[in-house]
Amino acid sequence: MSEGANLVIDAHAYSQMAVRLSDTEKRLIEARIAIAHSRSEAHSLGVVALDLTAQRATDNAGVSSNGNLVIGIVRMGVLKTVMLRRDSQEVSKNSLGTAAVKWVGVAKRATGSRAYRGRRHY
């Protein structure tokens, strides 16, 4: 575990959060990602930290992003970026390019094609 190791937040992550999130949401995201980081042994980590419950789109300053899940990517103890992702997109370590994915403060659920599997099969 990374206990005692503080999460460092990259300037890019701060700029992405400024475009996508309110100040209250930013504080919540930072706290949840720090918790996941402190409990994980993975060198790279994707953290699903907030469900906005509705699609949010941003396109200010040429930054195009949309989705209802807020995901942070931590590499070697540094929060590199924060992104929006839709439920219809897969959330996995392969799709995020990380060694692990943690859901903190958000109920873990199927995403991507698996999210709709039950409806098509019955």
Note the pLDDT of residue 56: 85
Domain ranges of the chain: 8-104
Beta strand residue intervals within the chain, DSSP E: 8-9, 44-58, 65-75, 78-85, 100-103
Note the pLDDT of residue 4: 42
Rounded-to-integer distance, Cα 102 and Cα 92, Å: 9
> pLDDT tens, 25-84?
999 999 999 999 999 999 999 999 999 988 887 765 555 678 999 999 999 999 999 999
pLDDT at 8 over 50: yes
Rounded-to-integer distance, Cα 36 and Cα 48, Å: 10
Rounded-to-integer distance, Cα 74 and Cα 77, Å: 6
Reported as a pLDDT band with limits 50, 70 and 90, residue 116 is low
